[in-house]
Amino acid sequence: MIQPDNSSAIITIKKLHKCYWVGSMPFPALNGVNLSIDKGEFAVLAGRSGSGKSTLLNVIGALESVDKGEVIVNGANILGMNHTERTLFRLHNIGFVFQSFNLIRVLSARENIAYVCQLQGMEKKESEAIADHWLNEVDIGHLGYRRPDQLSGGQQQRVAVARALASNPKIVLADEPTANLDTLTGQKLMCLLQQLNDKFGTTFLISSHDPDVKNAASRLIKLADGQVVRKWEKIPPAPPPISKACPIKNLPIAQRIRQFLRKKRKRSSQRDNKGSTPRRS
Amino acid sequence: MSDARRLTPTTYLSLAVRNLLRNPRRTGITLATMIFGIATLTLLSALNDGWLEQMRDNFILSFTGHVQIHTSGFESSQNLNDHIKDPSEIILLVQDSPEIQGWTQRIRTSGLVSLGGSSTGVQIMATDPEQETWVTHMHRGLKQGRWLNPGSSHDLLLGITVAQNIGAEIGDRIVLMAQRPDGEMVSEIFFLRGILETGAPQIDRTLALIPLNAAQDWLEMGESVTDIVIRANSHDDTARLQQRFNQAFASDGYEILAWQNLDPMVRQWLEFSDAYGLIIILVVVALVLTEILNTMLIALHERQKELGIMIAIGTRKSQIFFMLLLEAVMLILLGGALGYGAGGLLVLHLSETGIDLSYFANAFKFFYMDPVILPLLTLDSATRILGTTLVAALLAGLYPAWRATKTDISQSLRTF
């Protein structure tokens, strides 16, 4: 599945289109994104809410499908994979850090980290040793036996970072990792992520509104209306018309049938209304 | 890309136990419902088995025995011409059978009983007074008087309703009238020595019981009899005995009938009760399973996000499926064991004290049922309850587990 790749890019995205449908209402999320991220980069995706940051991260993380385009991550075309292949791809290549920490509630901090290693096929003892190592790396080695609800937000996010790195991924994707943290804790977390990036050379791609996160970036990628804004562009490019961004052929078949029936009902009720209007003599 | 190995059983178990304990109140309520449901199921099943066993016992021991041997066609014709001329050969084989607890010979015919100006139609039954006590419990139904005396050739016992209908009292001279095998009508005087209340109304309103030797003399039948009635050691031996006697005597012009063949209505009633019991069991099982399904689906809904995360970080669908299924199985095993234990203890207690339903005694009599029911938990029922509960509960666990594998990761991460 993974092809040998001598280039320095670990993520290559070409002409990526993604549209969400709420009922028959289209919401274009990505409008032809082209992007390349190099190995070991500490890149930050910035942009307003709805600009497509989370969708782009989800697509790169093989969590979501797209309408059109090409996504090569660590030499693998992830859009051509089936569900199981994607799961295994995520397990061995991607580490996730979520906005709301998203730890497994019934497992302790140590078990949360060891769980990923066990999924990779490691023995329990080996997994626990790795968990202890990463807990120490993120400075909460003494909190390993606490459950998520016994940890502060910052501590939980450190566990999440340790979990993301414990599987020895090529890329860590972090979606608004500081959004639920106070400023100081957020700054500390960013320092930690930078240190880990320096020490292990893992590629980080982070989406955020937070100025501290943007300042920490080795590369800032701006997104607007589902498109990457190039450095020299002062005004974001105008988004393509909705009919082009979300062609009706991409509407799920069930929604298409529903839309057809709705239109038909509307037309017939309009005809009925016309017929029942009293004429003036 | 290497394939991920399986999670260890301890990881699965630990996750299942902790997930069940994450909402102790809900798990507790579900367990309580299951315990109640399975305990009720066990009790209902034991009650059903108990009264079916009583019905079978009472029917067999009140009159018919387990197996009867007649000359072919006697059961339908009830004609004295269809009698067994030489019963000794049959009796030799019967005596040698290890599955037999007792046997007796009888003559059965219809006749008339008269006292003064009152008379009524009866089923005259002549039996060996001693042998009869090994086969049926008729002698235990004596309401007044005494049992037949083997030496007295003019003793008569009447069913309580017959006695009431003709106004007979102990010691009365009563005339019995019947037809001999040669067709001649004959009558004889007997003395009422006892009044029987067997508990079966259809017997109590038709029975006139006399000693076998008296009937053989009176009806000029020599050593002949119409029935050889056999009581087996257990109900399970019935089919084997019937088959053996069929092989030995069917070709000689005898019919061998098991108790089920002697009264099809009782057989149908037993089958109906069996089916009715099964329906009750299915209803209780359906209720318990709905509860499990409901709990699992609510838990699934609450954990939608967590399942999404687990899949996102690399848990395979098959692993998610097994995790959820294990939770359901653990819940079922625990609830099943506790419910079955509670039900078993209840049955054990009630099998000693009995459930007194005397209020419905009259209705029960008709179906050979005692007013006090003793629940009986047979191995067969126990296996059926446990098997059905486990299999059905496993099915109830499959759906939520399957639903969990359909978790839309991006949707579940976005929604919460």
| pLDDT tens-digit readout, A71-93 | 999 999 998 898 889 999 999 99
Distance from CA of B40 to the nearest CA of A (A): 34
Higher pLDDT among residues B22 and B113, named by residue: B113
What confidence score (pLDDT) does residue B2 get?
42
Task: Kindly state the DSSP code that residue B200 receives in the 8-state scheme.
Answer: -
Would you call B1 and A98 a contact, using CB atoms and an 8 Å cutoff? no
What does the block give as tokens for B210? 């006399």
Query: Are the C-beta atoms of B68 and B227 separated by less than 8 Å?
Result: yes
Partners of residue B306 in chain A, C-beta under 8 Å: 102, 104-105
Model confidence at B319: pLDDT above 80: yes
Helix (H, G, I), strand (E, B) or coil at B376: coil
What confidence score (pLDDT) does residue B266 get?
73
Partners of residue A83 in chain B, C-beta under 8 Å: 317
Residue of A nearest to B18 (CA): A106
* Separation between Cα atoms, residue A223 and residue A52, nearest integer Å: 7
* Separation between Cα atoms, residue B161 and residue B143, nearest integer Å: 12
When the pLDDT of each residue in chain B is averaged and rounded to a whole number, the result is 85
When the pLDDT of each residue in chain A is averaged and rounded to a whole number, the result is 85
Distance from CA of A217 to the nearest CA of B (A): 25
What is the β-pairing status of strands A42-46 and A203-207? Answer: parallel
Helix (H, G, I), strand (E, B) or coil at B382: helix
Partners of residue B11 in chain A, C-beta under 8 Å: 115, 118, 124
Instruction: Name B1's Cβ contacts closer than 8 Å, sequence gap at least 6.
Output: A1, A2, A85, A88, A89, A92
Would you call B410 and A58 a contact, using CB atoms and an 8 Å cutoff? yes
* Separation between Cα atoms, residue A162 and residue A249, nearest integer Å: 43
Task: Kindly state the DSSP code that residue B216 receives in the 8-state scheme.
Answer: H
Would you call A63 and B312 a contact, using CB atoms and an 8 Å cutoff? yes
Partners of residue B21 in chain A, C-beta under 8 Å: 106
Helix (H, G, I), strand (E, B) or coil at B86: coil
The CA-CA-CA angle for residues B32, B38, B41, to 5°, reads: 140
Partners of residue A121 in chain B, C-beta under 8 Å: 2, 4-5
Q: Mean pLDDT over residues B392-399, rounded?
A: 82
Partners of residue A98 in chain B, C-beta under 8 Å: 309, 413
- Residues B241-250: pLDDT tens digits? 888 888 888 7
Q: How confident is the model at residue A7 (pLDDT cuts 50, 70, 90)?
A: low
Would you call B10 and A116 a contact, using CB atoms and an 8 Å cutoff? no
Model confidence at B1: pLDDT above 50: no
Would you call B316 and A167 a contact, using CB atoms and an 8 Å cutoff? no
* Separation between Cα atoms, residue B153 and residue B168, nearest integer Å: 19
Using alpha carbons, select from B269, B241, B112 the residue that is nearest to residue B175: B112
Q: Closest CB to A116: pick one of B22, B314, B416.
A: B314
Would you call B314 and A90 a contact, using CB atoms and an 8 Å cutoff? yes
Instruction: Name B136's Cβ contacts closer than 8 Å, sequence gap at least 6.
Output: B61, B62, B63, B65, B229, B231
Q: Closest CB to A119: pick one of B306, B314, B413.
A: B314
pTM of the model: 0.71
* Separation between Cα atoms, residue A213 and residue A190, nearest integer Å: 7
Q: Closest CB to B312: pick one of A1, A83, A96.
A: A96
Query: Are the C-beta atoms of A213 and A44 separated by less than 8 Å?
Result: yes
B204 vs A239, B54, B63, B141, B161, CA distance in Å?
98, 19, 11, 10, 6
* Separation between Cα atoms, residue B298 and residue A12, nearest integer Å: 41
Q: How confident is the model at residue B252 (pLDDT cuts 50, 70, 90)?
A: confident
Which of A27, A55, A63 has the most B C-beta neighbours within 10 Å, making it the best mutation to test the interface with B?
A63
Would you call A90 and B1 a contact, using CB atoms and an 8 Å cutoff? no
Q: Mean pLDDT over residues B317-324, rounded?
A: 90
* Separation between Cα atoms, residue B313 and residue A89, nearest integer Å: 10
What confidence score (pLDDT) does residue A234 get?
66
Q: How many CA atoms lie within 13 A of A185 on its CB side?
A: 13
Q: Mean pLDDT over residues B51-75, rounded?
A: 85
Residue holding tokens 């008569």?
B156
- Residues B274-285: pLDDT tens digits? 787 778 778 877
Task: Kindly state the DSSP code that residue B62 receives in the 8-state scheme.
Answer: I
What confidence score (pLDDT) does residue A232 get?
63
Residue of B nearest to A172 (CA): B313
Q: Mean pLDDT over residues A45-54, rounded?
A: 88
Q: Closest CB to B313: pick one of A54, A100, A116.
A: A116
Query: Are the C-beta atoms of B376 and B53 separated by less than 8 Å?
Result: yes
Would you call A124 and B317 a contact, using CB atoms and an 8 Å cutoff? no
Helix (H, G, I), strand (E, B) or coil at B219: coil
What confidence score (pLDDT) does residue B215 get?
92
What confidence score (pLDDT) does residue A236 get?
67
Residue of A nearest to B19 (CA): A106
What is the β-pairing status of strands A76-77 and B355-356? Answer: unpaired
What confidence score (pLDDT) does residue A2 get?
45
Q: How confident is the model at residue A4 (pLDDT cuts 50, 70, 90)?
A: very low
What confidence score (pLDDT) does residue A173 get?
93
How far the first Cα of chain B sits from its last, in Å, is: 32
What confidence score (pLDDT) does residue B367 get?
62
What confidence score (pLDDT) does residue B383 get?
83
The 3-class secondary structure across chain A, one letter per residue, is: CCCCCCCCEEEEEEEEEEEEEECCEEEEEEEEEEEEEECCCEEEEECCCCCCHHHHHHHHCCCCCCCEEEEEECCEEHHHCCHHHHHHHHHHHEEEECCCCCCCCCCCHHHHHHHHHHHCCCCHHHHHHHHHHHHHHCCCHHHCCCCHHHCCHHHHHHHHHHHHHHCCCCEEEEECCCCCCCHHHHHHHHHHHHHHHHHHCCEEEEECCCHHHHHHCCEEEEEECCEEECCCCCCCCCCCCHHHHCCHHHCCHHHHHHHHHHHHHHHHHHHHHHHHCCCCC
Q: How many CB atoms lie within 10 A of CB B339?
A: 26
Which of B313, B321, B406 has the most A C-beta neighbours within 10 Å, making it the best mutation to test the interface with A?
B313
Q: Closest CB to A106: pick one of B2, B19, B315.
A: B19
What confidence score (pLDDT) does residue A3 get?
47
Model confidence at A281: pLDDT above 70: no
Model confidence at A59: pLDDT above 70: yes
Query: Are the C-beta atoms of A39 and A203 separated by less than 8 Å?
Result: yes
Q: How confident is the model at residue A184 (pLDDT cuts 50, 70, 90)?
A: confident
What does the block give as tokens for B330? 């653990």
For residue B351, give the H/E element and its range. Answer: helix B317-353
Model confidence at B409: pLDDT above 90: no
ipTM of predicted assembly, 2 dp: 0.83
- Residues in B whose CB is inside 8 Å of some CB of A read 1-5, 7-8, 10-11, 15, 18-19, 21-22, 305-306, 309-317, 319, 409-410, 413-414, 416
What does the block give as tokens for A254? 């069930």
- Residues A104-139: pLDDT tens digits? 989 999 999 999 999 998 888 999 999 999 898 888
- Residues B210-242: pLDDT tens digits? 999 999 999 998 889 999 999 998 888 888 888
Would you call B413 and A115 a contact, using CB atoms and an 8 Å cutoff? no
DSSP letter string, B178-197? EE-TTS-EEEEEEEEEEEE-
- Residues in A whose CB is inside 8 Å of some CB of B read 1-2, 54, 58, 61, 63-64, 83-85, 87-92, 96, 98, 100, 102, 104-107, 115-116, 118-121, 124, 163, 167
- Sign for the CA dihedral angle at A219, A223, A226, A232 comes to negative
Q: How confident is the model at residue B112 (pLDDT cuts 50, 70, 90)?
A: very high
Model confidence at B399: pLDDT above 60: yes
- Residues B330-344: pLDDT tens digits? 888 888 889 889 998
C-alpha B86: how far from its chain's center? 36
C-alpha B367: how far from its chain's center? 12
- Residues B170-212: pLDDT tens digits? 999 999 999 988 888 999 999 999 999 887 788 888 999 999 9
Would you call B22 and A163 a contact, using CB atoms and an 8 Å cutoff? no
Would you call B5 and A121 a contact, using CB atoms and an 8 Å cutoff? yes
Q: For the stretch B108-135, what's the b/e string if a residue is b when 16 or more beta carbons lie within 10 angstroms of its beta carbon?
A: bbebbbebeeeebebbbbbbbbebbbeb
For residue B259, give the H/E element and its range. Answer: helix B259-262
Would you call B15 and A88 a contact, using CB atoms and an 8 Å cutoff? no
Would you call A104 and B306 a contact, using CB atoms and an 8 Å cutoff? yes
Which of A115, A125, A173 has the most B C-beta neighbours within 10 Å, making it the best mutation to test the interface with B?
A115
Query: Are the C-beta atoms of B51 and B233 separated by less than 8 Å?
Result: no
Helix (H, G, I), strand (E, B) or coil at B76: helix
Residue holding tokens 């990792």?
A177
The lowest-confidence range among A26-35, B173-182, B353-362, B392-401 is: B353-362
